[in-house]
Amino acid sequence: MATYGKKAADKVEAAMRERKHGELESGRSGKTVTSRRQAIAIGLSEAREAGAKVPAAGKSVAKKAPAKKAAAKKSPARKTTAAGKAPAKKAPARKTTAAKKAPAGKVVARKTPARQATARKTAARKAPAKKAAAR
């Protein structure tokens, strides 16, 4: 079964011909169209307006994003799964040993292996000085 009708094909063909001759202009800005894809889009748009058999125009990603945010803000209720139960809450992240030892309210960054090695070397270098100071 054909997706596009004959009338749609004729409109796209006419738009392509206009583009080739430099006569096709963008509807909004009025600039001359040089893109092949844009010429096809204009032809399909004209075919839709004329009532030809053409699939619905695809929605752009940029237009969908704000709608999703607005919908999320409107419905603060939790979504339910297919079984009708609310999804399980995620477990909180486990604290590192450094975070457990730190006083409450103080943020402690976890040391990477490279930083741990540097800290060990520094502590080993300072250890003899501490022993000498204690004597």
pTM beyond 0.85: no
Enumerate the domain spans of the chain.
6-50
CA distance linking residue 26 with residue 97, whole number of Å:
63
pLDDT tens for the chain, residues 1 to 135:
678 999 999 999 999 999 999 999 998 899 999 999 999 999 999 999 999 999 888 776 555 555 555 555 555 565 666 666 666 677 777 766 666 666 666 666 677 888 888 888 888 888 876 666 766
Residue that is written with structure tokens 């704000």 in the block: 66
Name the residue among 2, 1, 8 with its Cα closest to residue 52. Answer: 8
The C-alpha angle with vertex 56 and arms to 51 and 57, in degrees rounded to 5, equals 110
Residue 45: both structure tokens together: 């748009």
Q: What is the distance between the alpha carbons of residues 115 and 48, in angstroms, rounded to a whole number? A: 64
